[in-house]
Structure 1
C-alpha cells in the first residue's frame, strides 16, 4: 500500500464571495430575504474549513474467470485449463470486490482496478464509485480480451472524499486473489506421423523390433534372445519361433512458421493477426514435443530470409526455438536471437535445410500461393507435412474478401491433394480443439 496523498479540493472561497454578494445586494435594495439567504453559503464555507480527512480502511480481492465465468455449483470461478492458460482472443471476466473493514461509513469511495496495459476492456468498467457502510462490500466487474503472453494485474487505485466533498485521499492498495493470467493455450499431445530416425521413441513403425505391441511371429534364428521365444508354441509343436513387437522410433519435427509480411493480417481490427496465431500454435506444439523427448526445431520464413534452430530436445534448443518463435511475431527482433539466418527463396532454400527424415508442421494463413508451393515441393521430396492454417479471411462480407476466402480454400484443397494433413482453423474455435482435431487425424505417412 502506498502512502496516502491528501488534497483539499475546496476551501470555500466561492461560498464566501456569494455570501458577501447576497448580503451587499440585500442591504442596498433593503431586502431582508437576500440578507437571510447570504447565511446559506456561509454554512458551506464553514464545512469546507473544518472538513478533515477520512480514516478509511478497505480490503480488496480479485477473481478471474475464463469464458464460463462464475460456477454456481463450486462457488468459485472457472479459471480455464488446469495450468491456468487460455487461448488468444478468449474473454476473461474480472471481479474485484472491495470491502469497508473500518468502523466508519465511506460516503464517497472511488476504485480503479489495475488492468494490464496489454489487455483491452471489452465490457463493463474497471472503475466504480460507491458508498459503503462498515462491513459492506461492492464488486467491480468487467471483461478483458486476452492476447498472447503472461499478464499481471496491478494494485488498485483508491480515492475517498469526506462528507463535505472538500477533502480527498488517494492511495494504491494491493489486491488479494488472482494476479496473473497466461495466454498460452495448452496442448495435451501432438500428432506424429511416420517420419522417424533410428532412435527409440514413441512413434509406431511398420517394422519389428523392441516394443510393447505385437508385430509378428517368425522362425527362430540363432542369436535371438531367449525372452523373445514363443514358448507356448514350442510346448505344443516343439518348434522354436520368435515373437517380434512393433518397433517404436523417435521422430524429428520441424515447426515452420510463415512470418512474411502477408501474415501480419487479422480478420478484423479487434482480432489477432495470422502470425500471432501461428506463433502461438507453434510454440505450444514445440513445448509439447520437447517435453515428450522428440527432437524439435523451428524455421521462421520471412520475405527473403529464413531463420532456423536445428531439432533438439535439450533445454538450450528449446530456449533458442522459443526465442525465435517470439521474434517471428514481433515481440523481439530476429537479429537478436541465436538462430541461424539463411538468405534466399523459401521454396527453394527450406528443403535443403531440413533433416532427411523430418516431419514438417507448417503454420500459415495461406492468403497467397507460396505456402501451397512449399508443401508441394516438400511432399515431392518425401517429407511428411501437416498444415495448421488460421483463417483470417472471414472478417468482412465484401466481394474482395469473399474472393480471397475462395482462393484460400482452393489452396488448401490443392495441398490436401498432395496427401498432406490440413487443419483449417476457424477462429471461433479454441486452439486446443483445433490441435485435438489434428491429433485425431494422425496416422502413418
Structure 2
C-alpha cells in the first residue's frame, strides 16, 4: 500500500467509480496518503453515455482535469429540445457557457472513468499519486474506528474512510447502524430504463429523422415525452456514438422471481420488440431508431433510488455519491452530485495539509459537508423523482420550482463553502 508517516492523513476510499476517483483527486495534497479500494479489476467500466452538468464540469477545470479528459473527445451540449408524443417540438432550452460559467459536457462513461483514473495516479497533480487497489472488495466497516475489512480478511485502517461504493453500499450500513440501515434500502421506483448505445452513423438510415436529433455539431440533447414514458438521447465520443435512455413502467414480475430481483437482478438484456411495443404510438422515427440499434447494445435497468438518509457520517467515516443519495437519471445529476460531494469534502479539510486534523476537527469537517450538501442534494433527488413520475409524485415533498428555475438551482453552483454562505444569508 505504500509507506505512511504519523503526520500524514490516511484516507481510504471504498469504491473506484466516478465518485470515488473524483474524491481521491479532490483530496490530494501535502501530507495526504490516499488509497482507493475497488472490488472489480477495473477491466471494463459500464458502457453508456453520461453528462457532467455545468456545476460539475467547472470542477473538472478547477481540478486541472481537462488535459486528462481531452482524449475522451467530450462534446459540449448546446441545448435541450423537447418533443411531444406526436413528434412535435414543444420547447427548446439553449445552454450557454456564459450563463453558468461552464458547459454541460457529454462523455462515454468508459472514457470519463479512464481519464479520472489516469489523473488520480498522475504525478503532475498536487500531492502524492493515489494508490488504487483492484479486486479489493470491502465486506465490513467499523465507522467509528475507520477500519474496513476486505473479502480476504485483510483490515485497512484510515484516519478518514469515504464510502463511495454505490447504491448497494456496504459502508452506508455501517454509518447508519443496523436499525436505520434496515429502514433505508434502495427502493424500486416503479420504473425501468432501456439503455441503448450505438454508432451514430446508423441513424443515417432512419427516414424523416429531425436534423437536431442526428447532428452532433452542435450537440443537442433531445427528449421525447408522452404520458408515463420518456426518452432522453444524444451524441457522445466526438460524434462517434449515440446514446438513449428510455423510461418505462416496470414490467410485471411473478412472485417466484421477485425475491431474486430483490437480491441482485436489477439488470437484464433488453428486448428490442418489447422496447418498440412500449413506445407504440410515438413518432415513427423514434421507433425506427430503436429498430436500428444492435440487439446486443440494448439493456434494461430497474431503476432504484434512496429516500433521504438521517446521516451521512459516523465517527471517521462518511458516505458520498450514490451511497448517500442515489437518484433517478431524469436530471442527469447523479455523477455531478458525487463530484460536488468530493469538492465539499476537500473544501472542509483544506486547512489540514501541514498536519492531520484532530478527531474533533475531523468530525466538525464531516458535519460541515452534511450541512452544505444535504438540503441541496435532497431537493435534486426529489425533483429527479418527480420528473419521472409527475402524475404520482404529488404531496408534501412535491417540488415547486419550474424547470427553468431548477436548471438554475442545479447549475448555478460555485462550491460548498460559497453555497453554505449563500444559504445562511438567504435564511437570515
TM range (shorter): under 0.3
The higher radius of gyration belongs to 1
Query: Higher relative contact order by CA 8 Å / sep ≥ 6: 1 or 2?
Result: 2
TM-score, normalised to structure 1, is 0.22
TM-score, normalised to structure 2, is 0.22
